[in-house]
Structure formats: structure tokens, C-alpha cells
Amino acid sequence: MPLSDAKTDDHPYWVRVVVDLPLQGPFDYRSDEEISVGTRVIVPFGRRKLVGMVVDCPQVPAHDPDQVRAIESVLRDVEPMEDSWLRFARFAADYYQRPLGEVILPALPQPLRRVSDYQGKRSGAGPVARLDKRRVAAAQPLEPGFAPALNQAQQAAVDAVGAATGFAPTLLFGVTGSGKTEVYLHAAQQVLAQGRNILMLVPEINLTPQFERALRARLEPATGPGGVAVMHSGLSDGERLRAWLRVRRGEARVVLGTRLAIFAPVVNVGLIVVDEEHDPSYKQQDGLRYSARDLAVWRARDLGVPVILGSATPSLESWVNAERGHYRRLDLTDRARDVEMPTVRLVDTRRLPMENGMSPQLLEAMRRRLDNNEQVLVYLNRRGYAPALHCASCGWVSQCPRCTAYTVLHRGQFGGHQLHCHHCGYQRRVPPACPDCGDQDLQPMGRGTQRIEEHLAELFPQARVARIDADTTRLKGSAQALFDRVHAHEIDILVGTQMVAKGHDFANLGLVGVLNADAMLFSQDFRAPERLFAQLMQVSGRAGRHTGHGEVIVQTGYPEQTVYQALARHDFAGFARHAMREREAASLPPYSHQALLTAESRELPEALAFLQQARASAEDVLQREGTHELVSLYDPVPFRIVRVAHVCRAQLLVEATQRSALHTLLRRWLADLNALPEARRVRWQLEVDPLEI
């Protein structure tokens, strides 16, 4: 039968469908009814059934029509996804080199992509109908919320964003406490008044309650009740589906969320905001390894709308974009509340008698602040009691049996101690004696937040001490409860990791003490100084936000380092200049573009052998393309922590002076990788624009 007759004979429609499988796809199916692009369908796949999405309706199938299977059912409980959303998904798939189905389906709420929610005993009319049937109590409207009059710099920023037409990327460079939130809120009000909607990203789940309250109080008068939807990974399936549907249906006009919200199906977008745009949490670290910040800029460009990237410590990528004139930079150079920036003191720990990791200067300053009824934050980016346990007589150190890493000593809830591996989750009780020499005197090595908390409670018996880190905030709502207690001044001394460093507007916090910052100073990763500077500047920015006279004490053995010197001057621009010179000289991002191929296997040589073969194959591609002068291939190397959970890991770095040369290589190269002889023995993945190397 000639292909052209296929359709006239029995009038089938052909649809091209993507599914969530690590296969390139899409796959062709037959349908008796017309289905528009963006519609979900249930299709047979091998012996399974899967939810997929129609991404194309070709005239003829790619294969013999007689072999093409029929779709099983069409899911019409949600409007087809918009073209602009599909375009966005296509871009992400192409840019990050993943099959389209692995972008589209994970971006939908679980129940919308689970066959069992549609077929089976209890599925009924499907998850959407089930949800719509429940009557859900509407959230109580909040008080409209007090809006301070904008200062000049804020007003100028709001005006500039409002005056922009079309795609207008803005880097809002505002010191900590400069009132960036007010700028977002006013810009959002303008956009809502034009009848358009807003997508706003924050880096941390813990920041969503604070922002949600502000957005609801200030924007719901314009959107009506329920006009703000929140999306983050802490929601249950049902909550996420409900929020997603309200967004898809245009009922929620403001979407606030963490990185995954960049895939929210917001309609009629008029503004995208990325707060703390430098934050590494915008990078997804598995599956589709996207940068929500970068995707936000792409989405804004595609939609022709303004995007605001806000930070006191912008990423060097965004900074360079501003320097080159690709982004417009708007500065807020002063704190909004008419208070000065905190003073930063560098305390040289090399010649000091330290008490449990704390200098006399820090303890003295803490005493003063506590006497003055102010709060103190002690920052240490290392959770647990101590980074390791060791035996003083023979040198034994607690090592994870599954990883090339130490196990971390933790104090258990009921007093006993355990050893935890932070890489693979392995746990054991503390051995009663040294496994090597039998000595019973095992000692903690170094300090984590638990040990500091314990010590501070002894030193300041009158003070109420609390700790905020990943361990104390595991339960849903527990982080918020702790932050609420800090805001209510039920806590005097707060010990915390980087969870407390970002975004929070503490009213009564006078002093920040930074312990052991040097750990990141000599890291192999070329981004470590940038990240360290941002962390320190952010945590410093928590001091004296409302009442002024803020003070920061940084304990370091290397006070002369640029990172610390620039920090003491609050000089981001100076730090950036220095860092950019180094990057330019070494031709590192943002002066080049990178991709990282990683391989995992039981034995390290297998992973390395695969990467060697991959390197040779990339060289072939470059020769063929004539682009070997634009792209460098590094030697495969093991990860710094080479083994995690018995799996060895190695990486191959690819670096290009031109983005297009990199992507051309990746496209050709990826197609060849699975055919390499060693490919069967490893798991590999590719990351575009890796943040950690």
C-alpha cells in the first residue's frame, strides 16, 4: 500500500509521542481521532503502558504504517500544553542534550503522568476530576500588608523595569538589606495591572513561606484570593497537582517556587524574577541537569518579557553579561532601612588561643551582644558533631566502608553517638574501641554544628541556643517553626549552615560569627572562591539589618586572601574584577563554555577506559568538523571522592571558546557514545555548564 493512501483508507491520524524513558524518541502512534499537540495520551510501549505527550502530528509516520501501534486513550482532563511551553521544553532538551520526553514528563505533576491514576480499580475519572470534586477551604485572605514608600534607588529600578518593552534582562545588584523584595513587588504590581502574570523563583524552600506571605499580602488585592501559587519539592503530589492546575488554568497569576517552578505552565507571562540569582541551588544535580536561572533568561527572551536577576553577589556569568551590555545593571548601593552595612572584622586564628574553635574576640563580642539583648548567628557550614572520629594512639580514622570519605560523627537524638556517611547514607554506632588497636580513647576530629551548639550552651547557660541545619529541619514545617522562633526572639544564639545564610530578614540579629571558612579556600574547583565569597557576603548581610551597628567576625588563618579583604570592604565589584582576571587568564567560564562527561562503574579503570574512548571519539568528531581549535578535551580524571556507595566515578571535561562549537560537538558525539566498547560497563551522563568540577 502506498504511504499516501494510508490516511484516506481508514482515516487514521498519526501522532508523535514522547515518553519518560532514556530513549531518544519521539515514537509514532495511530489514533482514530484528531489530537492536538501538547495533549497527554496513554500509549502501549513494549509490554508496558505509559503516559506520553503528543509533540507532533505528522502526515505520515516515520515507519511502516502497518507496524505503528494505536494509542490507548487520550487524556483530555487538562488543556493541551501551550506552544510556548513546548518550545521551552524543546529548547531545554536540546540545550542540555536530553530526550524531550525526559524533560516534558518530569515537568508535570506525578498524577498526570501515572497510568495507574487513569486505569485501574480506584482511578475513576482520573486525578484531576477527583481533585476538582473535593472542596477545598480557600486560604484566608491576608491583611493587605504595609508597603514602605520606595527610596530613590528602588523607585528608579522599578521605573526602569516598568519602562522596558520586550525582552529586557536586568541584573538588580543590591547590597544585602537594600530592599530588593520591594522592587520585585512593585514591578509585579505593574505587571498584574496590565493583566499579565508573574513567575518568581527563590533558591531555597525555606525562603518560600517568607515570600509567600509578602506576595499574598501585597499582590492578592490585585489577583484576588488564591492568586498566588507556590511550587517546590516539599509539596505532596496532591498539593503540587492543585497548584499546577490553578496555574495552568490561569487562576493563579503569580507563581512562586524553587528551581522546578521554571517549568510551571504559567500563561500570559509578563515578568520573570530570579531572586539570589547566583545561588547554586538553581542548578539541578541529577536527571536533566538544568540551570533554572539560565532557563529563566531563555524563557523571558522567547516570550519577549522582562526578567529580573537579583543578587548582592551576582554570578560572574551574569556580571560579565552586564559588563558586556547584554544585561542592564541596576544598583541599590545602600540598605533600605537607613542603616549602615555591618563592620566586618577578620580575626587571624594562627596565633590565637582558641576555645573549641572560637576565638576570644568572637566570644567577647557575643557576650556584648547578648548583654544588649541582641541575637547572634554562628555560621559553620558543616553539619554533625565532628567531621570524623579518630584514634590518637594508632591514627585510625572513621572511614565509610562504601566510599572514599570519612564518616561524620553525629550526636543522636537520645544522646548516643553515631557515624554517618554524608555521601551514601551509611550509618553505624560508634565502635566501643578502636577497630585497629583496641584503644578505647576515640576522639572527635574537628567541629560540626552540633558540637558548636553543645559548647555554646555550656558557655552561655542563660542564652537560648538553637541549631538550623539539614538535620534539625528534616520534618515538614520544622524549618519554618525554627525560623519563626528566631523572628519571635525566642532564640538568642543561632548556630547554622548555609541554610540560614540566604535571604532571611532577621530584625534583631546584631552579630554574625563565621567559623572555619578556610575549608573552601584551597578547593580544586575554580568556582570555590566565588562561592565562598558569596556565602560569606550573604551570611554577613544578616547582621544589623533593621537596627544597624551590625558586626561580622570572620575567623581565618589567611586574612590576606582577596576573598576576605574584599569581604571586609563589602566590595563585590573588586572581588569580581579580581576573579574575572583569573578566569580570563585561564580561559575559564564565563570566558569559555564547558561540558562534563562523567562515568560510573564498579572499578575505576573501566570508567577511565570509557572516558578515554569517549575522548578519542570526540577528537574524531572535532577533526571531521574542523573545530579542534575551538574545543579542548581534557584528560579523564577520577573524582576527588572517587568512590561513593561502591561506585567509582571519573570525569572528562570539554571546554570550548564558542558555545556553538561545543553544542555541535555534543550533538554528534552523544550519538556515538553508546556504541563505544566500554559503554556497556559504565553508566555515563553529560552535564552542560557544570557548576562543580
- For Zn ion, which is the closer residue by CB, 380 or 400? 400
Shortest distance, CB of residue 133 to ligand ADP, whole angstroms?
40
DSSP 365-410: HHHHHHHTT-EEEEE-S--SSBSEEEETTT--B-B-SSSSSBPEEE
Footprint of Zn ion on 389-408 (CB under 5 A):
391, 393-394, 396, 400, 402-403
147 binds ligand ADP (CB under 6 A): no
498 binds ligand ADP (CB under 6 A): no
The reply to whether omega before 387 is within 30° of 0 (cis) is no
Q: How far apart are CA 102 and CA 309, in angstroms?
A: 27
Could you tell which of ligand ADP, Zn ion, none binds residue 607, using a CB distance below 5 to 8 A set by kind? none
Among the listed residues 31, 154, 359, 540, the single contact to ligand ADP using CB under 6 A? 154
Instruction: Candidates 164-172, 426-434, 496-504, 591-599: pick the segment binding Zn ion (CB under 5 A).
Output: 426-434
The single-letter code of the amino acid at 69 is R
Segment holding 475, helix H or strand E: none
Among the listed residues 26, 109, 177, 227, the single contact to ligand ADP using CB under 6 A? 177
Among the listed residues 274, 307, 421, 682, the single contact to Zn ion using CB under 5 A? 421
277 binds ligand ADP (CB under 6 A): no
β 551-556/509-514 pair status? parallel
Could you tell which of Zn ion, ligand ADP, none binds residue 556, using a CB distance below 5 to 8 A set by kind? none
3-state secondary structure of 589: coil
Shortest distance, CB of residue 571 to ligand ADP, whole angstroms?
17
686 conformational bin, left if phi > 0, alpha if psi -120 to 50, beta if neither = beta
Could you tell which of Zn ion, ligand ADP, none binds residue 91, using a CB distance below 5 to 8 A set by kind? none
Tell me 117's DSSP state. G
Q: How far apart are CA 508 and CA 492, in angstroms?
A: 10
150 binds ligand ADP (CB under 6 A): yes
Instruction: Candidates 142-150, 189-197, 440-448, 462-470: pick the segment binding ligand ADP (CB under 6 A).
Output: 142-150
> Which residues 6+ apart lie within 8 Å of 358 measured at CB?
452, 455, 513, 515, 555
3-state secondary structure of 437: coil
Geometric angle at alpha carbon 613, from 607 and 618, rounded to 5°: 120
151 binds ligand ADP (CB under 6 A): yes
Instruction: Candidates 134-142, 169-177, 245-253, 493-501: pick the segment binding ligand ADP (CB under 6 A).
Output: 169-177
Shortest distance, CB of residue 173 to ligand ADP, whole angstroms?
10
CA-based torsion, 21, 27, 30, 35: positive or negative: positive
Tell me 197's DSSP state. E
How does 10-37 read in b/e, with b if 16+ C-beta sit within 10 Å?
Answer: eebbbbbbbbbbeeebbbbbbbeeebeb
Q: How far apart are CA 444 and CA 452, in angstroms?
A: 13
Could you tell which of Zn ion, ligand ADP, none binds residue 176, using a CB distance below 5 to 8 A set by kind? ligand ADP
Rg (CA), the chain: 27
Closest CA to 689 of 89, 97, 85: 97
From residue 642, how far is each of 405, 425, 607 by CA, in Å? 9, 16, 11
The Cβ of residue 8 has, within 10 Å, a number of other Cβ atoms equal to: 7
Instruction: Candidates 53-61, 386-394, 489-497, 552-560: pick the segment binding Zn ion (CB under 5 A).
Output: 386-394
The single-letter code of the amino acid at 419 is L
Residue with cell 543578587: 311
289 binds ligand ADP (CB under 6 A): no
Q: How far apart are CA 554 and CA 293, in angstroms?
A: 30
C-alpha cell belonging to residue 64: 511502516
Could you tell which of Zn ion, ligand ADP, none binds residue 402, using a CB distance below 5 to 8 A set by kind? Zn ion
434 binds Zn ion (CB under 5 A): yes
Among the listed residues 52, 111, 169, 174, the single contact to ligand ADP using CB under 6 A? 174
Instruction: Candidates 178-186, 204-212, 222-230, 431-439: pick the segment binding Zn ion (CB under 5 A).
Output: 431-439
Could you tell which of Zn ion, ligand ADP, none binds residue 685, using a CB distance below 5 to 8 A set by kind? none
181 binds ligand ADP (CB under 6 A): yes
- For Zn ion, which is the closer residue by CB, 124 or 401? 401
Shortest distance, CB of residue 51 to ligand ADP, whole angstroms?
40
> Which residues 6+ apart lie within 8 Å of 97 measured at CB?
666, 667, 670, 686, 688
- For ligand ADP, which is the closer residue by CB, 254 or 288? 254
Footprint of ligand ADP on 505-524 (CB under 6 A):
505
Among the listed residues 98, 113, 180, 649, the single contact to ligand ADP using CB under 6 A? 180
Residue nearest to ligand ADP (CB): 179
Could you tell which of Zn ion, ligand ADP, none binds residue 174, using a CB distance below 5 to 8 A set by kind? ligand ADP
148 binds ligand ADP (CB under 6 A): yes
Instruction: Candidates 148-156, 455-463, 650-658, 682-690: pick the segment binding ligand ADP (CB under 6 A).
Output: 148-156
Shortest distance, CB of residue 423 to Zn ion, whole angstroms?
5
CA-based torsion, 387, 388, 389, 395: positive or negative: negative
User: Burial level of 228, CB count in 10 A (0-12/13-18/19+)?
Assistant: buried
Per-residue binding string, Zn ion, 439-458, x by CB under 5 A, is: x-------------------
- For Zn ion, which is the closer residue by CB, 196 or 402? 402
3-state secondary structure of 270: strand
178 binds ligand ADP (CB under 6 A): yes
C-alpha cell belonging to residue 172: 538588580
From residue 249, how far is each of 191, 224, 252, 270, 441 by CA, in Å? 18, 15, 8, 16, 64
- For Zn ion, which is the closer residue by CB, 400 or 618? 400
500 binds ligand ADP (CB under 6 A): no
Could you tell which of ligand ADP, Zn ion, none binds residue 17, using a CB distance below 5 to 8 A set by kind? none
C-alpha cell belonging to residue 655: 571546554
- For ligand ADP, which is the closer residue by CB, 99 or 257? 257
- For Zn ion, which is the closer residue by CB, 298 or 396? 396
Shortest distance, CB of residue 387 to ligand ADP, whole angstroms?
31
Shortest distance, CB of residue 478 to ligand ADP, whole angstroms?
23
Total residues contacting ligand ADP by CB under 6 A comes to: 17
Instruction: Candidates 88-96, 177-185, 242-250, 383-391: pick the segment binding ligand ADP (CB under 6 A).
Output: 177-185
Residues in contact with Zn ion by the rule CB under 5 A = 391, 393-394, 396, 400, 402-403, 421, 423-424, 426, 434, 436-437, 439
Residues in contact with ligand ADP by the rule CB under 6 A = 148-151, 154, 174, 176-182, 336-337, 505, 545
